[in-house]
Amino acid sequence: MSGNSVHLMISPAEGTKDEELKAAFVPLNGAFQLHLIHTSNQLSSLSAGQARIFIFSGSSDNTTWQESARQARLVSSSLYFILVSDEETSFSAITQGADLLIQRSEVQQLPLIIGALLRRNIFSKSNNPEKAVTPDLPVMNKLDELKMKNTELEKINYELDRFVYSASHDLRAPLTSVLGLLDILRNEIPAGENQHLINLMEESILKLDTTIRDIVAYSRNNRTDVSIEALRIQPIVEEILRELKYLESNQFALVECVNAQDDGVFPGDKIRLTTVLKNLISNAIRFRHPARKPVINIQLHRNANHLDLIVADNGLGINQQHLEKIFDMFYRTSDQSAGSGLGLYIVRETIRKMNGSIEVQSTVNQGTIFHISLPLQGDQIITS
Amino acid sequence: MLVEDSEIDVFIHRRVISKSGLSNEIQQFPTGKLALEYLSKLEHINDVPALIFLDIRMPDMDGFEFLKEFEFLPEWIRKEIRIVMLSSTIDALELAEARGNKFVLAFIPKPLSVEKIKELFE
């Protein structure tokens, strides 16, 4: 064993076999000298030079880790104390004397972690500036690092999905209950002032619901891949209008679909396209001109390498000064605050996810035109 | 029959169903398991519910698990029953799974209303 090897003391948890521990550190032959500490006597019998890194996983004589750390530092003040525990937080561990906290599930990676720390010279304090890290220490290679990060990322993404799923369910369920009760109440009470109050309550709840839906849509857009299938615009729009009937006040809106293709079939991501159209149509209805019925014109043109989708309305229009900002998160124009402020932001993000682009033109009191461009991959319809 | 665990929603469903004139004999089970137990023990065809409003999210056995087990009920019972899934979910996958299930007549987003029931039978 080289004189440059690092002395590693391990206080194993009760029941851990010494052989198992030694086996875990075998890849590091020569780099570490292992000392297994079972009792505090063994600890005090070590010399300062031998006490560099202390890994505390448990004790056989009920010594607390705090006590063990204290004793170990008496032997060597520059000791690096690693605590293996699932019962502490990093904050409580470090403030009580540990240098690093590791979960029990990470124990397998200890050799790699120590190797990484040594490369950064964490352990050599001012007393040993020349004792450089030995080159034959195990280095977490790029592949391992990537694998580890990938697993972590997958875990985080999975948890995010579950969180959004749970949140949307647990937030929406009480909402739909209240909406149901309001509906019953509205039919039971005589017409008059109280009906108005109920309508206001319903409006508030629907607004809250819109925000929840938008958050779920946003999360979904981020997290799922684009999936292309053969689509027709008419049924998509009909489905949207059916759903909007429940959400918006029942203002009749005329939606014309003009498809410049013979068979009207085009490749696209159904859910994302629906999200985009639903937001644009519901905005067109919400910001209708008070003096006329809302008319929404949807055109689809298929070119050699892209799809043009144009959504035009005859509503209130958008002031030039707002035009740039309407796609921003939570941006709302003046007092028309029925939405969540996320709608157009989600539209733009969704289109981006499909590698497309969106532009808007508008004239106040005349109407607004949204021009969406989506790339096509030749004539191929790719189903996933 | 209502397979639903939320007391408030049960209250709403009952009100709406009786208002729509659909039925006055409404049974309720808070989990899929209890509903299946009841159904599997039926002996007379007149006792079989004509319509089941099935919630998705319930403890112990949810709506989809109920549908899986439903397949194993005797044919003579299954023949009489129409299942409507009723839920507050907006999850695209759940919606697709509900609409695509061979035993499900329709999916209705909560809250249940007289209009939605009327639409069901058009």
The per-residue pLDDT for range A284-325, each reduced to its tens digit, is 888 888 888 888 888 888 888 888 999 999 989 988 888 888
Please report where in the chains the tokens 């899934």 appear, as a residue.
B85
Is A205 at the interface with chain B, CB within 8 A?
A: no
Region class of A159: left (phi > 0), else alpha (psi between -120 and 50), else beta: alpha
Provide mean pLDDT across the span A76-80: 79
Residue B110 to residue A187, Cβ atoms within 8 A: no
pLDDT of amino acid A6: 65
Is B58 at the interface with chain A, CB within 8 A?
A: no
A360: pLDDT confidence band, cut at 50, 70 and 90? very high
- For A130-145, write each residue's pLDDT tens digit: 444 444 445 566 777 7
Q: In this model, does residue A180 exceed pLDDT 90?
A: yes
Which contiguous run of DSSP H or E holds residue B76?
A: helix B75-78
Contacts from B98-103 at CB under 8 Å and sequence distance 24+?
B98/B56, B98/B63, B98/B64, B101/B64, B101/B67, B103/B67, B103/B70, B103/B71, B103/B78
Instruction: List b or e across B38-51, with b for residues whose CB sees 16 or more CB atoms inside 10 angstroms.
Output: ebeebeeeeebbeb
Of B9, B88, B111, the CB nearest to A183: B111
Q: In this model, does residue B70 exceed pLDDT 90?
A: yes
Provide mean pLDDT across the span A247-276: 73
Q: In this model, does residue A365 exceed pLDDT 60?
A: yes
Distance CA B56, CA B62 (A): 6
Is B93 at the interface with chain A, CB within 8 A?
A: no
Q: In this model, does residue A379 exceed pLDDT 50?
A: no
Instruction: Please give the residue of chain B at the shortest CA–CA distance from A161.
Output: B91
pLDDT of amino acid A50: 53
A280: pLDDT confidence band, cut at 50, 70 and 90? very high
pLDDT of amino acid A123: 59
Which residue out of A161, A177, A179, A247 would a mutagenesis test of the B interface target, given it has the greatest number of B Cβ atoms within 10 Å?
A: A177
Within 8 A of A212 by CB-CB distance, chain B residues are 90
Instruction: Please give the residue of chain A at the shortest CA–CA distance from B95.
Output: A271
Q: Which fold has domain A225-384?
A: Heat Shock Protein 90 (3.30.565)
ipTM: 0.88
- Of A287, A275, A310, the closest CA to residue A366 belongs to A287
Residue A177 to residue B90, Cβ atoms within 8 A: no
pLDDT of amino acid A2: 36
Q: In this model, does residue A105 exceed pLDDT 60?
A: yes
Provide mean pLDDT across the span B51-72: 91
Instruction: Please give the residue of chain A at the shortest CA–CA distance from B7.
Output: A177
pLDDT of amino acid A361: 94
Residue A176 to residue B90, Cβ atoms within 8 A: no
CATH number of domain containing B40: 3.40.50.2300
- Of A355, A361, A358, the closest CA to residue A343 belongs to A358
pLDDT of amino acid A384: 31
Of B6, B19, B90, the CB nearest to A172: B90
CATH node for A6-140: 3.40.50.2300
- Of B109, B31, B122, B42, the closest CA to residue B81 belongs to B42
Is B20 at the interface with chain A, CB within 8 A?
A: no
Contacts from A58-61 at CB under 8 Å and sequence distance 24+?
A58/A11, A58/A12, A58/A13, A58/A14, A58/A16, A58/A84, A59/A11, A59/A13, A59/A14, A60/A14
Three-state SS at A81: strand
Size of interface A-B (CB pairs under 8 A): 53
Is A270 at the interface with chain B, CB within 8 A?
A: no
Which residue range(s) make up the domain with B6? Answer: 2-120
Domain spanning A141-223, CATH architecture:
Orthogonal Bundle (1.10)
Q: In this model, does residue A383 exceed pLDDT 50?
A: no
Provide mean pLDDT across the span A59-66: 82
Residue A180 to residue B9, Cβ atoms within 8 A: yes
Provide mean pLDDT across the span A211-222: 82
Tokens standing for residue B85: 């899934």
Distance CA A128, CA A30 (A): 19
Mean of per-residue pLDDT scores for chain B: 90
A185: pLDDT confidence band, cut at 50, 70 and 90? very high
B29: pLDDT confidence band, cut at 50, 70 and 90? very high
Question: Which one has a higher pLDDT value, A2 or A118?
Answer: A118
Tokens standing for residue A304: 């050699």
Within 8 A of B15 by CB-CB distance, chain A residues are 184
Within 8 A of A175 by CB-CB distance, chain B residues are 88
Residue B89 to residue A172, Cβ atoms within 8 A: yes
Q: Are strands A295-302 and A254-259 parallel, antiparallel or unpaired?
A: parallel
Mean of per-residue pLDDT scores for chain A: 78
Distance CA B88, CA A203 (A): 18
Distance CA A351, CA A373 (A): 9
Residue B88 to residue A184, Cβ atoms within 8 A: no
Tokens standing for residue A190: 């005589």
Listed in sequence order, the DSSP H helices in chain A are 18-24, 40-44, 65-75, 90-95, 110-119, 142-188, 193-223, 233-247, 270-286, 320-323, 343-353
Task: Provide the shortest C-alpha distance from residue B76 to chain A (in Å).
Answer: 35
Is A247 at the interface with chain B, CB within 8 A?
A: no
pLDDT of amino acid A174: 93
B86: pLDDT confidence band, cut at 50, 70 and 90? very high
Distance CA B81, CA A362 (A): 53
- For A19-45, write each residue's pLDDT tens digit: 666 666 665 555 667 777 777 667 666
Task: Provide the shortest C-alpha distance from residue B90 to chain A (in Å).
Answer: 7
Q: In this model, does residue A129 exceed pLDDT 50?
A: no
Distance CA A278, CA A257 (A): 14
Q: Give ∠ CA B74-B79-B82 in degrees, rounded to 5.
A: 120
Is A189 at the interface with chain B, CB within 8 A?
A: no
Which residue out of B12, B64, B87 would a mutagenesis test of the A interface target, given it has the greatest number of A Cβ atoms within 10 Å?
A: B12
pLDDT of amino acid A18: 62
Count of domains forming chain B? 1
Q: Which residues pair with A375 in a beta bridge?
A: A306
Residue B12 to residue A175, Cβ atoms within 8 A: no
Tokens standing for residue A112: 């790699």
Within 8 A of A213 by CB-CB distance, chain B residues are 90
Residue B9 to residue A216, Cβ atoms within 8 A: no
pLDDT of amino acid A252: 64
Q: How far apart are the first and last CA of chain B?
A: 21
Q: Give ∠ CA A315-A343-A201 in degrees, rounded to 5.
A: 85
Q: In this model, does residue A68 exceed pLDDT 90?
A: no
Percentage of residues in chain A having pLDDT higher than 70: 76
